[in-house]
Chain A
C-alpha cells in the first residue's frame, strides 16, 4: 500500500506538508479494521504506539470508545486487546484516568469465550490497583456491581473474579454491598455462575475480615458444597483449602471439617476425585492434628474407593502425603495406616491405578529407610515389575534412582532384567520406545559391567527393529550411552557392531549404520570417525540402493565438520563428486548439497582471507548470488527444489571442469 500511495504523489511531493512520522501510525490505525486477522492482531499489539501518537486526550475520547464497540472480532484479537488494556493506564493519562479503560474491558468481560473473559478480568484486576480509593468507589465498584447483576451469566461469572480486588480498599458501607453481591452470585440460578463463585470463594475469603469469613463465607461454602450440581460441589473442595488456612484449628473443626468429611464421601465420584486430587493441599491447610484424626481415614477410603479414577488420583498422592506427615511418628503411621492399603493397590484390577501407584511408590523408600524398604517395599516393587501392564513396569523402572540411593540397585537387578527384556520385546512399539528412553538412565544406575553383560545386546537389537521410530530412538540411545560411558567403550563395544551392519542384506539396516554414524561421530571424536567410520561410509557410496547412497551424502555432510581437511579433500570430496553424477535425482541433489557444505568448510580452512574475494568454489551459493560472475550459475540454488532439478545437469556438467 505504501508503494501505491507513493506513486500517486510522485517523488517530488515527499517534502510536502505531510508528517512522515504519522504515516506508519495511520497504517496501524487503518489496519485495526483490516480483513486479515493477522494484520488486525499486529495493530492491536501495537496499540500503545497508536495511543502514544494520538496523545492521552484523543486516546480517551476516540480510541477507547472505538475499541469498546469492537467486540465482534476474532477471539485472538480480543484476547490481545484485553491484554493490552491491562497495561494501558499510562497511555490514557495515568492513574487519574485509569477508569477510562473500564468500558472496553467491561464489554470484553461479557464475551462468551472464556479465555478472553478471563484475560479481561485479569486486566481489570490489574487496573483496579491503579485506581485511587475514591476512583475505585466511583468507577470500579459500580462496574463490578453492573457485571454482578448483568442479564447474562457471562458478565456475572466475570464479576466473581473482581470482588477480592476491590474489597480491601472499599469503605465499610461498600464492603457490605460487595459481600451481598457475592452472596447472591453464590446462589445464582445458573451453574456457570455458581461455579465461578465457588472457584473464587477461597480468594475472596482471604481478603475478608475473620468475623465475616465465619459468619458469611462458611455458610456460602457449606451451601456450595451441597449444591445439586456435581461440578459446583467439586469446586467447593478447592475453596476448602483457602478457608482452612484462615481459620483456627477449633473453628476449622466445627465449621469446615463436617463439610470436608462429607465431600470425601460424596455420592459423586468426581467430588471424591477432587478431594483425592487436592489431598496434599488439604493436608497442609488443616495441619497435622486434623490430618491424623480425619484425613488419614479419609485417604484410606479414597485408596479403596469403588471408582478407579478416584483410587488412581489417591494413589498419585501417596508419596506427597507421606512426605508431609510430621516426621515424628511418621514411619509408624505409614507402616500401620498407609502401607496395608498400598499393598492392596499393587494388585488392583485397574491398570491406571497400578500405574499411578508405580509412578510414586519408589519415592517411599527414602522416607522409610533401608530396612523397611527391603522388608516391605521391595516385594511390592518386584510385584509391579512383573505386572501385566507395561506402563506399570515402565513407571517402576523410570524411578529406579530413588531406590538406588537407599538400598542400591543390586537387590532389584535380578527382577529388573526380565522386566526390561520383556518391555524391550513388547509387541507395542510405543512400549519399546518408552523403555529405550530409560536406557541411558538405567545404564547409569546399573553400571557399565552389568550393562555390557545384559543390556547391550538389547540396544543393538533395537537397531534392526521393524519400526522406524524404534530404530531412530535406538540410534539416539547409542549416542547418549557413548556420552555416558566414553569413547573407549564405544570403540570396543558399539562401533564394531554398528559397522558390521553396513553389509547387511537389508538396505534399511545398512541405512541404520549411517544414522548411527551420524549420531555417534560427534560423541566419538575425530579419530574414531576418520579411522573407523569414514571408510565404511565411503564404501557404501557404491550401494545399489539409491536411498543408501543419498544417505551416504547426507552422512558425509554431517560428519564433515569432525573430519580433518586431508580426509575431506582426499576422500570425501571425490566420493561426493561421484555421487553428484549419480543417475538418481535425489542422490544428486543431496550430494550437491553436501558438496557445497564441505566446500565451504574447506574454503574456510584453506583460504580464510580470500573467502570474500573470489567465488572460486562452485556451490558456495551465497557469494555467487551476490556477485553473479558466471552466466546464472547458481540461480537454480535459490529456486524451489522441483524447479532446481532441471538445472541440475547443467550445473553438474560445469562442476568437474572447474575442479
Chain B
C-alpha cells in the first residue's frame, strides 16, 4: 500500500532528498533564509533571505527511468527582490531582508509572487522566454553595420528558438504605507486584493493600485505609552473573501469580517485561552505571544504558534483551542537563559500538511516537529548535514528530560540554540517538506515503496 497523505506519522518515514545552499562552514549573514513558500501547485518553491534575494526552485518532471528520483527541485530563477535603503526622514536603515513571500494564483503562463521586507511589498513576475528575434536591416549577423546604400529590401525580424531563459521582473511596488515593520502579507481569495500587516496596522491593497491602500485595522493607541499589544501575524481565510484573522503579542487571535464595516477595528470573534494561574511566571506574557497564525486549507481551523506550543482552534469555539501540542516543553525550565540570549523572542512559524491532518513547526538544534492530529502521535526530526545522504531515512530524535540519558538521546543542555528552524513549508498536496535551517534549505519526502 502506498502511504498517502492521511497516513499516520509512525508509519511515515521521511527521507532526505536535497539540500540547497552553501555547504562550506561560515556563510554570510545575507545567506540566512528568512522565508520559504510553495506555490499553489507545489511545482515551485520560493525562498527569501536576509540579503534581499529570492530564489525559486522548480520541481523537475518525473522521469520513468529514474524511479527513485522523484522530481527534484532545481533552481529556476534567482533575483534581488529588495535592496537596503535608508529613510532619510526618519534616519532609519531599512533592511533588505525578505520577511514573507506569497504566491498569487496562476493567471497565465507566467508566475507571480509578492515579496516584502519591513516596509515595501513588491509584486514580481517570473516568466519564461524561449524565442528571440533575429535579423536586422542595418546590421549583419555579426553586428557589423551595413552600408545603408545597399539596403534594397526590408527585413522583418523572425523569431527563432533559443535556450530557455527565465526572467523576473518587478511589476508593482507597494510602498510608503507602513510606519512599522511588516510582518505578514496575505492574498485574498478574490484574487484582487491582498493585505499587509505591521505591528499596529493592517492595510488592504488592490493588486492594480500601488498609490493607495485602505487601512482596515489600526490598534495604535492615541498615546503610545498605553500600548500593550502588537499585531504579530495576519492571514485571510482561504475561501471567504471577507474574513481574516490577526494574532497579537498577548496570545489572542481576532477574526474580522470585512462585510460589516469598512474599518475592522472591532473584531467579530476573539479567540483566547484563559491563563493557567499555576503556570504564571515572569515569562508568561512573552511566551504566550503568537508568532504565526495559519488557516487550515479547509478554512475551518486556525493554527497558532507561540513559544512553547502549537494550538489548533475551531472557528466556532472562541474560549479555548481544541488541540494544544507541546513543541519543546523541556525549555520551560530554561526560559531564564533563553531570555538572556534573546532566543525567547524567536518567531517560529507553523504549517499544515495538504489535508490538514498533520502540522509541522520548528525548534532548536535544527530539530523540527510534526504532530498527527488524528493519532496524537508526534515526532522530532533533524535537518542536518550528517544525514544528507540521498534517500537516507531521517531518524526520530529525542531530547532527554532529566534522569538518565539514554542512547540516541540528546540532553537539553547540549542543544544548540543558534541552530533554529523558524521557517518550514509543506507541499500543498504531497508529502514533500522544505525546511530552512539557517542558510541551508532541506527538502524531505516521505519514503515510497
Mark A residues whose CB is within 8 Å of B.
1-2, 4-6, 8-9, 13-14, 16-19, 22-23, 25-27, 29-30, 32-33, 53-54, 58, 62-63, 65-66, 69-70, 72, 110-114, 152-155, 190-192, 195, 228-231, 267-270, 306-309
Contacts and interface: CB of A to CB of B under 8 A. Distances in A.
B205 to A, nearest CB: 14
Contacts of A113: 171
A33 B150 contact: no
A152 B190 contact: no
Contact of B155 (A8, A29, A155, A270): A29
B47 to A, nearest CB: 23
Contact of B157 (A16, A66, A268): A66
A9 B138 contact: no
B67 interface: no
Contacts of B147: 5, 8-9, 13, 18
Contact of A308 (B109, B260, B262): B262
A6 B149 CA distance: 9
B156 A58 contact: yes
Contacts of A54: 154, 156
B170 to A, nearest CB: 12
B152 A18 contact: yes
Given A66-B159, A72-B127, 6 more contacts: A9-B148, A65-B159, A111-B108, A153-B191, A269-B259, A307-B262
Given A62-B156, A152-B109, A192-B107, A22 B151 contact: yes
B354 to A, nearest CB: 19
A26 B159 CA distance: 18
B149 A13 contact: yes
Tell me the dominant secondary structure on chain B's binding face. loop
A155 B107 CA distance: 9
Tell me the dominant secondary structure on chain A's binding face. helix
B145 A69 contact: no
A113 B192 CA distance: 13
- Size category of the binding interface on chain B: 35 or more
B108 A66 contact: no
Contact of A4 (B145, B208, B240): B145
A195 B193 CA distance: 13
Interface in B395-418: none
Nearest to B137: A26
Contacts of A14: 149
Which 7 A-B residue pairings sit nearest by Cβ, starting from the closest? A18-B149, A26-B137, A268-B259, A62-B156, A16-B149, A152-B108, A154-B108
A16 B241 contact: no
Contact of A19 (B145, B152, B208): B152
Contacts of A1: 138, 145
Interface in B129-185: 129, 131, 133, 136-139, 145-159, 171
B139 A30 contact: yes
A180 to B, nearest CB: 24
Nearest to B156: A62
B112 interface: yes
Contacts of A22: 151-154
Contacts of B390: none
Contacts of A309: 262
23 contacts: A8-B145, A9-B149, A13-B147, A17-B152, A18-B149, A23-B151, A25-B154, A26-B138, A26-B154, A27-B138, A29-B137, A29-B154, A30-B138, A62-B158, A111-B108, A112-B110, A112-B125, A112-B171, A114-B208, A190-B105, A191-B192, A306-B260, A307-B260
Contacts of A112: 107-108, 110, 112, 125, 171
Nearest to B149: A18
Contacts of A17: 149-150, 152
